[in-house]
Structure 1
Amino acid sequence: MQKQLLSTKRYKIKDGTVQIEEDNLENEYRTPYHRDYDRVIFSNSFRRLSKKTQVHPLAKNDHIHNRLTHSLEVASVGRSLGLKAGEILKNKFDKDINPYDVAYIVQTACLAHDIGNPPFGHAGEEVIKEWFKKDENQKYLINLSEQEKKDFTSFDGNAQSIRIVSKIEHNFEVGMSLTFSTIATMIKYPWSSCDGKNNKDKFSFFQSEKSNIINIFEQFNLIQNEIILRHPFSYLMEAADDICYGLLDIQDAVELKILRLEELEKIFIDLTSKLFWEEVLNDKNLTEIQKLSKLIAKGINNLVNHTSNIFEKNYERLLKENVKDLIFLFTDEKLKSGLEFAKKLSSKKVFNETRKIELELGAYNILDVLLNNMIKATYELHEKKDIKQMSFKNRRVLQLMGEENSPKSNMTLYEKYQRVTDYIVGMTDNHATYLAHQFSGMGY
């Protein structure tokens, strides 16, 4: 079972159809998982994360995390977790497993985990969901099935990430054509938007990608009684993300003077020790930011070691059932408490900071303008079938999206709307702002 969780199969286009194939490694110095990493790191979608919000929209301070720096840091932690997990699997279950293969799989999944986040972070997700839920916009959804509607009214960046790597990148064919292991590791919520059995707000794939994702999990024998079980490596990806956003959000808060280092005492005594906290705090050769960096580094190291131990102790369980996450299974109560307190402090002081709220309200208006113009233009295309018969304004809106990105008359309404959300989600914060100004007549 252990070796079976490492699959080099990919979806590829051959003779105009999607087929499953493995790499021909003749004369290839890179492993399939190394190739996955390279495909993500060199993709347009990944590069655009440098201008997308992590927590603080359109921050003027260049030291603040954006989606790209966050993803790189998560990938670094994920690589450590993957390497340790690979060594565990090699020593306990299968001596033929290469720990570095597992490290690459988890690292790449971490790199791509936020690639589907819209402009302005989670605020952007909320705007998209709310737009499709508004009473005045229901007329645009009449011709969609209930399942298709749910993909928009419950829009999730996790599902968009899967859509980008498996379809959108490289002209809407098979995306980046990543290995099945890497795609499965990215999937934290193995259900679709309309899966009533789970009754959860989050999900990891749209109706448009559902059949391909189910097929991937069937390859791993991870579907039991019609329930998709998470790939065990996905827990490592999730833990890396939890560790990073738990600690690095407060690093940004200290940089922005929202929090003082002294307010973090409980967090770092729990994550390191009282002795280490006092030693760092009293070091007169370090600036406040340098002290915090040292504390975070030690905290991350301790969290990685404990997470690896928890993965090892619970591995057989992870193969049989979906558990909440590895942090939930922590047996070191101090580490668990320290990380949870960091998240609570961020929620209380960082996520409710006045400037952040002001910018998110601005982001709401920006994305609202984009959706108003693009969905309405798309709906007219669907009704009139021919772009030449459309109103001048709506025709121009679709032309502005470009030939590659705009909806086509031969698509279903669901596919047309997805082209709109694909286009908007792909924008950086800056480009979304610029385009909304153009639509509003303020861009002169």
Structure 2
Amino acid sequence: MVENTSLPSIWSSARRPRPGSEQPTSNEGQTPDSPSVGDQRSKFQHDYDRLLFSTPVRRLADKTQVWPMDENDSVRTRLTHSHEVANLARSIGVRVYLNSPEEFEHSGIGNDALLNVIQPILLATGLGHDLGNPPFGHQGEAAISRWFENRQNWIFSKTNEGGTQLEQSQAVPEQLRLEFTRFDGNPQALRLLTRLQTHVDRVGLDLTAATLAAGLKYPNSFANVDKKNPIRKKGGYFSSEMDVVNWVREKTGLKEGQRHPLTWIMEACDDIAYSVLDVDDVLKKQVMSPDDVLVVLQRSLENDSTVSRLLLRFEDVEKKPFRADAQRDIKIQYLRAFFIEALVTHASEQFIRNLGPIFDFNHQKPLMDSSELCEALKTIAKNYAFKNPQVLKAEALGAAALDGLMSAFWSAISDRSDLDDIESRKRTARSSYIYSLISPNYVYQACVPNESCSEANGIRYRELRLLTDMISGMTDTYAMRLWKEIQAIPDVSSP
């Protein structure tokens, strides 16, 4: 394991300095929830444990994977999806390390790295990769982005619609506006992990530099987005977390646009889960049968060995004296197991084949981009899950609720007596009530200045960040229930 945190290392176990100090508290990284003497866990194992027991992870149980607010307990939520991604990542990590331990050791870790460094980092990043997603998944991201796009002629630069121009120091600079009009859950996850979780020293969950680096799927700012580059096609962090990113890079030696090697594995496992396990949910919902899936795959894939092997297994199942429903369940299990094995093998082989460029930070192509099976399964999920009328209806209802909630909370945040003080007295009882629902920790973060990025200190940027913090932290059920409650409260200021 790496114990010397003074030198840059992609495996750095350093934790962030405490306010007013260049170093963490005594017994580096110790907090009130730190383990007792004799605890043999590595700092990366601490990271995973902190995530596992955190409130945001539990909230994932009520956030959409594909089927919003579904009553079928067998259908996946963001929580089950994240656990599966974490498990797949650990499996691939084991395969690639055991195949080429010398490459990992050359990068700065010892022979205990698999257990104490690689596995816990992969488990942590898999579990935490979707924490920033708002209610209703990617449709929630789109709804938030659309709300800002529809108001971009005034929301960033004026007191209100039709109002006066904000002073330059108060308005949101042009270069930061994409953080809202292209809102994404990935940078929100980093903010949640490092800012929004309550901590005695205001460092969120206080994760290590290596774990934070591995979780940075897009290692670039919104200003440096490159649609042609797969690892820079989106903004990976908000300006409000620039100080955290700078600290991570100081400790790991990574630069803008450079991915941590383990990030490739986490991304591949997310792709595997989206392909295989979203199709598994389609089968659980009985939208398709296992035989239907194989028919579709036979048409799109020629002479695929996994499909051929599954056909033989299906024939064996049909020869057994099982009832039709039991045969269906057994076939679903075979589909899931065979597809996961095939895709995990593909991801492992791609990682091993590209070890040099990956550890030199020159690799650009996602591991699963060359898998025809993965692409074919994603197409099935797209056509039979994401385009399912039940899913589309729930997403439409969720998008309408989020749009209404965005407007209601914006009114509550902005409808106050003192423009320069976010916490000043609200003008109406309705605004006071809605504002009271916002987490005090979110409010605190909106009120404290950010010394690392003066551009993110403007009052309007901090107001809008408070708005997105509140909305993205909601679960599906809470968002729908709250929207119904708020609709019942008259807005006496409306004409």
So what's the TM-score if we normalise by structure 2?
0.80
Provide the C-alpha distance between the structure 2 equivalents of 1:278 and 1:414, rounded to a whole number of angstroms. 59
CA contact (8 A) 2:9 2:252 kept: yes
Provide the C-alpha distance between the structure 2 equivalents of 1:167 and 1:410, rounded to a whole number of angstroms. 11
Provide the C-alpha distance between the structure 2 equivalents of 1:389 and 1:187, rounded to a whole number of angstroms. 38
SS of residue in 1 equivalent to 2:16: strand
Residue deviations 1:240-270 (CA, integer Å, cap 9, x gap)? 1111110011111111122221221154873
Q: Does 1:295 align with 2:335?
A: yes
SS of residue in 2 equivalent to 1:272: helix
Moved more, 270-279 or 356-365: 270-279
Quick one: which of 423, 430, 435 aligns to 2:477? Answer: 430
What is the CA-CA distance between 1:198 and the residue it aligns to?
Answer: 5.2
Quick one: which of 244, 249, 252 aligns to 1:212? Answer: 244
**Residues 233 and 128 of structure 1: is their aligned pair in 2 closer, same or farther, counting only changes over 3 Å?**
same
What is the CA-CA distance between 1:442 and the residue it aligns to?
Answer: 7.9
Residue deviations 1:121-157 (CA, integer Å, cap 9, x gap)? 111000000000104x642211211233221111100
Quick one: which of 376, 382, 391 aligns to 2:428? Answer: 391
**Residues 442 and 390 of structure 1: is their aligned pair in 2 closer, same or farther, counting only changes over 3 Å?**
closer
Q: Which residue of the partner structure matches residue 156 of structure 1?
A: 184
SS of residue in 1 equivalent to 2:198: coil
RMSD between aligned residues: 2.6
Residue deviations 1:287-327 (CA, integer Å, cap 9, x gap)? 31331122211221232223222211201111231412011
Provide the C-alpha distance between the structure 2 equivalents of 1:273 and 1:389, rounded to a whole number of angstroms. 62
Q: Which residue of the partner structure matches residue 456 of structure 2?
A: none
Provide the C-alpha distance between the structure 1 equivalents of 2:11 and 2:93, rounded to a whole number of angstroms. 12
Identical amino acids, percent of aligned pairs: 29
1:35-434 paired onto structure 2 within 5 Å? 35-92=46-103, 94=105, 96-100=111-115, 101-135=117-151, 138-142=153-157, 143-171=171-199, 173-197=202-226, 202-223=234-255, 227-265=256-294, 267=297, 270=304, 272-283=306-317, 284=320, 285=322, 286-318=326-358, 319-328=360-369, 330=370, 336-381=371-416, 383=419, 385=421, 387-388=424-425, 390-406=427-443, 412-434=459-481
Provide the C-alpha distance between the structure 2 equivalents of 1:241 and 1:402, rounded to a whole number of angstroms. 30
**Unmatched runs of 5 consecutive residues or more in structure 2:** 3-7, 158-170, 450-458, 491-495
Aligned residue pairs total 431
Residue deviations 1:362-408 (CA, integer Å, cap 9, x gap)? 00111011100111222233627363252332222212325344476
Provide the C-alpha distance between the structure 1 equivalents of 2:408 and 2:470, rounded to a whole number of angstroms. 13
What is the CA-CA distance between 1:120 and the residue it aligns to?
Answer: 0.8
Provide the C-alpha distance between the structure 1 equivalents of 2:310 and 2:227, rounded to a whole number of angstroms. 43
SS of residue in 2 equivalent to 1:131: helix
**Residues 384 and 438 of structure 1: is their aligned pair in 2 closer, same or farther, counting only changes over 3 Å?**
farther
Moved more, 187-196 or 281-290: 281-290
Provide the C-alpha distance between the structure 2 equivalents of 1:222 and 1:97, rounded to a whole number of angstroms. 23
**Unmatched runs of 5 consecutive residues or more in structure 1:** 331-335
Provide the C-alpha distance between the structure 1 equivalents of 2:472 and 2:252, rounded to a whole number of angstroms. 31
Provide the C-alpha distance between the structure 2 equivalents of 1:121 and 1:70, rounded to a whole number of angstroms. 12
**Residues 197 and 348 of structure 1: is their aligned pair in 2 closer, same or farther, counting only changes over 3 Å?**
closer
What is the CA-CA distance between 1:89 and the residue it aligns to?
Answer: 4.5
**Residues 309 and 389 of structure 1: is their aligned pair in 2 closer, same or farther, counting only changes over 3 Å?**
closer
CA contact (8 A) 2:125 2:215 kept: yes
SS of residue in 1 equivalent to 2:74: coil
Q: Relative contact order (alpha carbons < 8 A, sep ≥ 6): 1 or 2 greater?
A: 2
SS of residue in 2 equivalent to 1:383: coil
Provide the C-alpha distance between the structure 1 equivalents of 2:350 and 2:261, rounded to a whole number of angstroms. 12
Provide the C-alpha distance between the structure 1 equivalents of 2:316 and 2:111, rounded to a whole number of angstroms. 48
Q: Which amino acid aligns with 2:80?
A: T
Q: Which amino acid aligns with 2:90?
A: R
Provide the C-alpha distance between the structure 2 equivalents of 1:370 and 1:242, rounded to a whole number of angstroms. 31
Q: Which amino acid aligns with 1:423?
A: M
SS of residue in 2 equivalent to 1:287: helix
Provide the C-alpha distance between the structure 2 equivalents of 1:50 and 1:270, rounded to a whole number of angstroms. 35
Q: Which amino acid aligns with 1:249?
A: D
Moved more, 227-236 or 212-221: 212-221
Q: Which amino acid aligns with 2:98?
A: E
SS of residue in 1 equivalent to 2:440: coil
Provide the C-alpha distance between the structure 1 equivalents of 2:103 and 2:238, rounded to a whole number of angstroms. 37
CA contact (8 A) 2:272 2:374 kept: yes
**Residues 389 and 59 of structure 1: is their aligned pair in 2 closer, same or farther, counting only changes over 3 Å?**
closer
Residue deviations 1:327-370 (CA, integer Å, cap 9, x gap)? 13x4xxxxx21111000111122111111111111001110111
Provide the C-alpha distance between the structure 1 equivalents of 2:431 and 2:277, rounded to a whole number of angstroms. 43
Provide the C-alpha distance between the structure 2 equivalents of 1:362 and 1:410, rounded to a whole number of angstroms. 35
Quick one: which of 5, 14, 18 aligns to 1:13? Answer: 18
Q: Which amino acid aligns with 1:150?
A: L
SS of residue in 2 equivalent to 1:59: coil
**Residues 126 and 92 of structure 1: is their aligned pair in 2 closer, same or farther, counting only changes over 3 Å?**
closer
Moved more, 46-55 or 375-384: 375-384
CA contact (8 A) 2:136 2:398 kept: yes
So what's the TM-score if we normalise by structure 1?
0.89
